[in-house]
Amino acid sequence: MKLYVGNLAFSATDGDLREIFSQYGTVTDASILMDRTSGRSRGFGFVTMSGHEEGLAAIEGLNGQEIGGRRLTVNEARPMEERAPRSGGGGGGYGGPRRGGGGGRDDRRGPRRDY
C-alpha cells in the first residue's frame, strides 16, 4: 500500500521515513520529494508498505502525530492526476531578438521567408 506523508520537517530524510514507518510493518520504499532548483525537501514524500493492513495501521498510528515539531498528514496515496502539457518552453520570449535568427517580431533583419 502506497502512502502519502505530508507536513514533514525539511530536515527529514528517506531513512527517517523508513524508520518511523517500520514500526507498523515492512517498508518496501520510502522517499521524500526534493525541489529540483534548490535541492531542499518539498516537505512531503511517499512510503510503500508491503501489505494493505500494515498501511492502514501506519495511517491510524501516525496521521496527526507530531514528529520533528510538525504534525504529519498520512493517508493512502492517490494515483497521479494527468496534467495538460506545459506551454511555452523556450524561444526569444518578449524581451529581445530570438537567438539563431528565428524570424521573431523583434528580429531586425525582417521576417523569415521560407517560400
Domain ranges of the chain: 2-75
pLDDT at 4: 97
Res 80 pLDDT > 90: no
pLDDT band at 84 (very low <50, low <70, confident <90, very high): confident
pLDDT at 115: 56
Q: What is the mean pLDDT of residues 53-61?
A: 97
Third-level CATH fold of 2-75: Alpha-Beta Plaits (3.30.70)
- Please provide the average confidence, as pLDDT, over all residues in the chain: 85
Q: Per residue in 61-75, pLDDT tens?
A: 999 999 999 999 999
H, E, C per residue of the chain: CEEEEECCCCCCCHHHHHHHHHHHCCEEEEEEEECCCCCCEEEEEEEEECCHHHHHHHHHHHCCCEECCEECEEEECCCCCCCCCCCCCCCCCCCCCCCCCCCCCCCCCCCCCCC
